[in-house]
Amino acid sequence: MIKKYTFLGYLLILFVYANQVYGQNEKEDKNQNDLGYTQLKALIANQKTDSLKVKTLQSYLSESKSRADTLGMANAYFFLANLIKEAKLQYADSLIEITKGKKYINYPARGYLLQGNTQYELGKYKEALELYLIASEAAKKNGNELQYRKLRFNIGLLKNTAGDRNEAQIIFLEHLDFLEKNPNLKGPNSYNKTLFALTDSYIYDDKFNLAGDYINKGIQETLRTEDLEVYSHFVVYSGMHQYFSKNYTQAIDSLNKGKELIKKVDDIETRTAICDYYLGRSYRALGSIEISLQYFKNVDHTLKETEDIIPELIDTYDYLIADAKSKKDLEQQIEYINTLLRLDSIRHANQIYLTKNINERYDTAELVAEKEKLIDELQEKTFLKEETIAILILFLITLVILVIYFFYRSHANKRRFLNLLEEQKNKDQGQPEFNTISNTISKKEEIDIPEEVIATVLKKLHGFEESVRFSKKQYTLNSLAKELQTNSAYLSKIINVHKNMNFANYLNNLRVDFAVGELTTDKALRSYTIKAIAEEVGFKNAQSFSSAFHKRTGIYPSYFIKQLNNG
């Protein structure tokens, strides 16, 4: 059963964007603490074109600036960000800058939300998650319960896509309970999509009984509220549920119905390609191979035409390549392999599972070798144009270079990881470290400081390193010098000569070495976010921690943690 990605994946952007996060039009105006937002929304709604809306907003922004009306400026930035996509991050930054620390019920949370949605659309899901968390905290701090819940729901969607289904299910169930206990906030749009999210998570978590319950409930609710769009997707999910439950005839019936319904409400061809994909698999399970191949060819046609890649659909080429191979159709095999390679590269640029590449189904070297063999056989039967041969050779050279590069990088990272573990083992066994007094005192003659002063400062530095106070407190050169009862000039020179680095690198390296030791021995710490680990060992943020860790060890902390957990 192939369930690496979810159907929800291709709907996720729709749901995330619709919320600004979703339900922008579902009673949110009641949460506004200013009339300006409602008036501005109505004002631009009356403009017939986007250009007129932008002009109106820019004029409103200028007037708000002249009045020093921060809330008016924030509202203008918010609407401009949604109209001018290429400047969304710039407007979001401006919005956050002017409202940070204010007690507006919707700001600065909306600014972080805009940034999060932009990062999501760029495929930067980790960054999106961090921004959603910041927005969530801001909404909660400013007392906007509905906005907080919507952001939590978005975080649940990301967790579900990332495979953290249990956590996602808890968030979805909490959100469903919140909507049911607050009927004044329970818009049909948000409620139906929450049911859909739960259905998706359960079906891909093999919880088929629960998935079936929510499919039935979702169908009833979408029919009752005349929500044809989400209803059509529930019908498709009903077919997928039947497929995973091995009820293939019922699956075919529901998938065909869902496909026709989706055509009426959605002109994006990839939606129907999902139906074709599961129809192909259902017919194949029933032994109707030729019929199944026709559906897989429909999927192939859609993917080539749209290049809108749903990772799940890539498996279509497993069946098509196998069929061409059984029929000894060499040209068709090459075409399908080329399409697979091209679409898979697109998937890499757009999907969260960047490591889930073509190696899951084919060893890259074997795939290249098979392709070369097919080309050789085809050349014996027909003459290829010189231009075609040149293109194929260039393609193969590029592919081989990429394979070698990724292999080398993986090997180098692994070697650095093992070296780091060995160094940590030596440290635990009491072997000398780079920063001990015995290894540094030999350089005392290089600076114009009395020997006894150098020895005293180095001894105190050793005590400072052993106490790991650097992980609990932020230090400057002056503050550490004061704590060690010396002056900053002496301390700076001693660290530069005897530690062979400046003060900032010295402090960062102490914290990185401490982090390595803690992560190696403390499994619980590995489950923290990078941001939380950074703060735990003394860094201000995740970026500075990751940068210092990589500079010190040659690998990033996320890779180090992953290797420890896999060991």
Q: How far apart are CA 561 and CA 567, in angstroms?
A: 10
Residues contacting 556, CB < 8 A, separation 6+: 546, 549, 550
Q: Degrees (nearest 5) of the Cα angle 327, 316, 325? A: 15
Q: How far apart are CA 461 and CA 549, in angstroms?
A: 21
Do residues 135 and 109 make contact, with C-beta atoms less than 8 angstroms apart? yes
Alpha carbon 342 to its chain's center:
22
Q: How far apart are CA 72 and CA 69, in angstroms?
A: 5
Tokens of residue 322, six digits: 């196998």
Tokens of residue 397, six digits: 């050279």
Alpha carbon 407 to its chain's center:
24
In the chain, how long is the greatest CA-to-CA distance? 90
Q: How far apart are CA 491 and CA 485, in angstroms?
A: 10
Q: Which one, of 294, 321, 16, 307, lies nearest residue 155 by Cα?
A: 16
Q: How far apart are CA 199 and CA 213, in angstroms?
A: 8
Do residues 80 and 86 make contact, with C-beta atoms less than 8 angstroms apart? no
- Contacts by residues 539-547 (CB-CB < 8 Å, ≥ 24 positions apart): 539/508, 539/511, 540/474, 542/130, 544/508, 545/511, 545/515
Q: Which residue has the tokens 């690198």?
A: 505
pLDDT in tens, the chain (567 residues): 334 444 444 444 344 433 433 333 334 434 444 557 888 888 888 888 888 988 988 899 899 899 999 988 989 899 998 888 888 889 899 999 999 888 888 889 888 988 888 887 776 777 888 888 888 888 888 888 888 888 888 888 878 877 788 888 999 999 999 888 888 877 777 888 899 999 988 988 888 899 899 999 999 999 998 888 889 889 999 999 999 999 999 999 999 999 998 888 766 667 788 899 999 999 999 999 999 999 999 998 888 887 766 767 888 888 999 998 998 888 888 888 888 888 776 655 444 433 333 233 333 434 554 566 666 666 666 555 566 777 878 888 888 888 887 777 777 777 887 887 777 777 766 654 444 433 444 444 467 888 898 999 999 999 998 888 888 888 999 999 999 999 988 899 999 999 899 999 999 999 999 989 888 888 888 889 999 999 989 998 999 999 999 999 999 999 889 888 886
Alpha carbon 566 to its chain's center:
21
Say whether 510 sits in a helix, a strand or coil: helix
Q: What string of DSSP letters covers 380-399?
A: HHSPPPHHHHHHHHHHHHHH
Q: Which domains, and CATH codes, for the chain? A: 437-566 (1.10.10.60)
Q: How far apart are CA 37 and CA 533, in angstroms?
A: 40
Name the DSSP class of 524: H
Do residues 157 and 8 make contact, with C-beta atoms less than 8 angstroms apart? yes
By the 10 Å C-beta count (0-12 exposed, 13-18 middle, 19+ buried), 208 is classed as: middle
Name the DSSP class of 105: S
Do residues 203 and 237 make contact, with C-beta atoms less than 8 angstroms apart? yes
Q: Residue 161: its pLDDT value, please? A: 73
Q: How far apart are CA 293 and CA 474, in angstroms?
A: 63
Q: Which one, of 500, 517, 504, lies nearest residue 553 by Cα?
A: 517
Do residues 441 and 458 make contact, with C-beta atoms less than 8 angstroms apart? yes
> Rounded to the nearest 5°, which phi and psi values hold at 436?
-75, 160
Q: Which residue has the tokens 């010190």?
A: 552
